[in-house]
Chain A
């Protein structure tokens, strides 16, 4: 059951963007049974600060940040595991040795971008296994730069 506020008359829909919007409760229909304390005000009230936000910590450019899911073991050596969630920022330019999302044969791949004399090497962590060499006359699209890998423990 979602929490509803009665102060504004109508409840604000909560939950995800695409869940059905909740409807208005009947007047007099019990919504919350929690008593509202009316007494000594909390001495902590003057020291309220915003609670820490992971969005704030992980996302530098809101408009340019996308989430991507990892499949496979090719990057475990970089601490990126199967099923991890990647925070990808398109606003930053990929530098040499950045971990990037690149487009290879129409598919997304997560690899380390290494500039080498013969072009670019998309390096996997498996000692040469899974590396992709992109020649000087081949097209390479770097889709975004991986800033964080979120791993479920």
Chain B
């Protein structure tokens, strides 16, 4: 298998820069929803040593000193730019797996005759011109290696001009390169696992790649064994079944028979939302965005192909099945086109945040009962939105208002369009 990982550089900051060229070359951070901490940093800010997740109040002095510009997160803008970027990238492969708001895998099987580095450059140039977002492209034989290749392209460790193709490198070149990369950079090796590995003398990618997989499987897990196999070019993580990380919850399935109409697609999407929302509540998170996609059968080249997806930012982060369902169905209605034989549908809950509030216990009792949520919505439908709501919701609403540095809705609001003289 050959696969590419395309990833937007400092995605949120890049989105802001498209519409505000003054931010170009300046240190910029984007803050989390309640202006709490840095969730995106421009290269200039990274160079100052600011780490991901640094609270804004800790940054204030540094910001004054270096003129760091801080912006509230404008998720409506980022979601629209993400949808545009993913749609452009979908043209470059029959197989696309959107992994997060700013990155996707592209299957490159059957591209053997292509100069993959040149292809990567074409992709890069196209996204930059059409959408305005700079991206890096990592190409390799497995998804884990493609992630690593992308890291190399971003940090300029290997490859050229934002594209790195590991499958084009010799064994000796790979060894030398991997010996310089910390083990914690590997996809699926989190801070805790990397600490344990380092304590065991496995500090670099090369050390893990050449370690004995069977031994480590006994000591750690079968997941680590699979990671080692992937580092050695043996594909274990399929294009579809990406290991869900904590930042998103995915639910999707192929249909038993082809589906043609909106109504059954809607039923499927609603079912997947219910599954995903249960997981969401179980892990105590709220979703800030819902993504919905449908696709035809990519393996049947003779039938018309259509693989749309849409990300919908929610007015408020929620774990309410009904709200998530309505958003997903609204999105489905927008992307649905008749005349296609749909083979699969899926949803993803994105931009997850912690629901951990003191009211959680009280709320969790209520939300296990779907009928309570329904009754609440029905009462609100008649008497006005917000007539009956949980205490937790009320609190959330307040901190949501704290977005004092938000840029305009350049692509989503008629009254906030960019202005030209």
Contact = CB atoms under 8 A, between A and B. Distances in A.
A40 interface: no
Contacts of A6: none
B266 interface: yes
Contact of B87 (A62, A72, A108, A143): A62
B172 interface: no
A23 B380 contact: yes
Interface string B363-383: 000000000001001101110
B87 A63 contact: yes
A47 B265 CA distance: 27
Interface residues of B, number: 43
Contacts of A68: 417-420
A108 B419 contact: yes
11 contacts: A10-B329, A17-B76, A18-B76, A22-B326, A24-B374, A24-B378, A25-B382, A64-B129, A68-B419, A108-B418, A109-B420
A67 B374 CA distance: 39
B326 A13 contact: yes
Given A18-B412, A64-B130, A23 B421 contact: no
A91 B420 contact: no
Given A8-B263, A61-B130, A71-B421, A20 B385 contact: yes
A69 interface: yes
B396 interface: no
Contacts of A67: 411, 414, 417
B76 A90 contact: no
A22 B333 contact: no
Contact of B385 (A23, A66, A141): A23
Q: Which 3 A-B pairs have the closest CB atoms?
A: A106-B22, A23-B381, A64-B130
Interface in B71-88: 76, 84-85, 87-88
Nearest to B90: A63
Given A22-B381, A70-B419, 12 more contacts: A13-B326, A13-B330, A20-B315, A21-B323, A24-B377, A25-B381, A63-B130, A68-B417, A68-B420, A74-B421, A106-B21, A107-B22
Contact of B378 (A25, A62, A63, A71): A25
B135 interface: no
B313 interface: yes
A12 interface: yes
Contacts of B378: 23-26
B140 interface: no
Interface in A83-140: 85-86, 90-91, 101, 103, 106-110
Contact of B21 (A12, A24, A103, A110): A103
B232 to A, nearest CB: 37
Chain A, interface size: which category? 35 or more
Interface of B: 21-22, 24, 76, 84-85, 87-88, 129-132, 263, 266, 312-313, 315, 322-323, 325-327, 329-330, 333, 374, 377-378, 380-382, 385, 409-414, 417-421
A106 B412 CA distance: 22
A62 B90 CA distance: 13
B381 A24 contact: yes
A101 B21 CA distance: 12
A24 B322 contact: yes
A17 B420 contact: no
Contacts of B88: 63-64
A22 to B, nearest CB: 7
B326 A10 contact: yes
A66 B382 contact: no
Contacts of B327: 13, 21
A69 B412 contact: no
B331 to A, nearest CB: 10
A106 B25 CA distance: 11
A67 B417 CA distance: 7
A68 B421 CA distance: 10
Contacts of A85: 417
Contacts of A61: 130
A24 B22 CA distance: 45
B418 A69 contact: yes
A87 to B, nearest CB: 11
A143 to B, nearest CB: 8
Contacts of B130: 61, 63-64, 90-91
Contacts of A110: 420-421
Which residue, of A12, A63, A86, A103, has the highest number of chain B Cβ atoms within 10 A?
Answer: A63
A69 B385 contact: no
A15 to B, nearest CB: 10
A54 to B, nearest CB: 14
Contacts of B413: 18
A63 B421 contact: no
Nearest to B381: A23
Contacts of A18: 76, 313, 315, 409, 412-413
Contacts of B333: 12
Given A63-B88, A64-B130, A91-B130, A26 B421 contact: no
